Amino acid sequence: MMKKLPNILLYTILIAIAVFQIYPLVWLFMFSLKNNQEIFAKSPFSLPEDPQWENYVKVWTNGNIGTYFFNSVWITALSILLTVLLASMVTFAITRMKWKLSKLVLGLFMVGLMIPVHSSLIPLFSMFLKADLIDNPLSIVITYTAYNLPITIMILLGFYYSLPRELEEAALLDGCSVNRLFFKIILPMTTPVMSTTVIINMIFNWNEFVFVNTFISSDKYKTLTVGIQNFIGQYMTDWGAIGATLMISIIPILIAFIFFSDRIIEGITAGAVKG
């Protein structure tokens, strides 16, 4: 009895926190399926009486959500590809090749982890203005790549250090070139850690707001985060539509989380703890 009581208390605390973390999302899902009449007149905690799936159809067809969604997908995917490839090449060169400045170069990338984005935003804006890259998705892709390189390299680093040296020695004795060694032998071996970095990059890029908000002005190039921010403005009072829009923007991440939660957790801990 003495032992059971504190246990019940502990579970109550843990579950209360879980409810606090998840309930706002449950509430969001429920009002995304209600009409205004039900939202304003009935209890906010009730289940939707007659689920209004047409809220989702309405926001998907009545605006640019489809375009924003597509932009988010390809900008996220292209940036991930560039980031993980470039970061893998750098990490390979730093951990496996022999050169004097490798520590210094690694240090430079690691400094990139600490800087506040807002301190570089105005010069970045002016550079893109001069290069005619304002309102051009290319500016977003290269910015995402540059700003995610440091954290990606940091996550890759430990794995590369742990790869056995014998492997490449054998390959090089057989007359293997550096490119072959990297692309055919090392890179395939790093698949687990690469998938961790892919997922971390996906979360960062999919959710990024400031760069798109600052560098992109045309609707046809906006991503979901910025797109829904403007889109919601039009639906000021239609809560069901707002809820459906928000749900559409978070569903891909939630699905990714359901399937890859262990990798996501691994990536997040690896990214933070080694810092």
Partner 1 sequence: MNKVLSNKFMIALYVLPALILVAILIFIPLGLTGYYGLMEWSGIGAMKFIGLENYKEVIKDPKFWNSVLHSFLLALFSTLSLGVYLLISLILASKIKGSSLLRKIYLIPMLLSSVAIAQLWMKVYHPTNGMLNRFLSILDIDNPPAWLADPSIVLYAIFIPILWQYAGFYILIYYAALKNIPEELIEAANIDGATPWQIAMKIKIPLISGIIKVTVVLAIVGSLKYFDLIYVMTGGGPNGASEVMASYMYKEAFGSYHFGYGSAIGFFLLIITLVTTFFIRKLTASKDDVQY
Select from 193, 216, 228, 241 the one that contacts partner 1 (CB under 8 A): 228
Query: What totals of helices (H) and strands (E) does the chain contain, helices first?
Result: 14, 0
Select from 68, 159, 160, 182 the one that contacts partner 1 (CB under 8 A): 182
Candidate ranges 47-55, 62-70, 110-118, 187-195; the one touching partner 1 (CB under 8 A): 110-118
Q: From the CB of 235, what's the least distance to partner 1, in Å?
A: 11
What are the residues whose beta carbons fall under 8 Å from the beta carbon of 198, sequence distance 6 or more?
80, 84
Residue among 54 and 257 whose Cβ is closer to partner 1: 257
Nearest Cα to 214, choosing from 146, 130, 125, 275? 125
Residue among 54 and 120 whose Cβ is closer to partner 1: 120
Q: From the CB of 237, what's the least distance to partner 1, in Å?
A: 10
Give CA–CA dist 210/231, Å, rounded.
17
Candidate ranges 57-65, 73-81, 154-162, 218-226; the one touching partner 1 (CB under 8 A): 218-226
196 sits near partner 1 (criterion: CB under 8 A): no
73 sits near partner 1 (criterion: CB under 8 A): no
Select from 73, 81, 121, 138 the one that contacts partner 1 (CB under 8 A): 121
**DSSP category for residue 216:** -
Q: From the CB of 184, what's the least distance to partner 1, in Å?
A: 14
Residue among 1 and 258 whose Cβ is closer to partner 1: 258
Q: From the CB of 65, what's the least distance to partner 1, in Å?
A: 13
Residue type, 141: V
What is the chain's alpha carbon radius of gyration, rounded to the nearest angstrom?
23
**Whole-angstrom distance between the N-terminal and C-terminal Cα of the chain?**
44
Alpha helices in 97-120 (DSSP H): 102-111
Q: What are φ and ψ of residue 175, in 5° steps?
A: 85, 25
Give CA–CA dist 68/73, Å, rounded.
9
167 sits near partner 1 (criterion: CB under 8 A): no
Candidate ranges 56-64, 81-89, 154-162, 186-194; the one touching partner 1 (CB under 8 A): 81-89
Classify the C-alpha dihedral 210-77-85-192 as positive or negative.
positive
Q: From the CB of 74, what's the least distance to partner 1, in Å?
A: 17
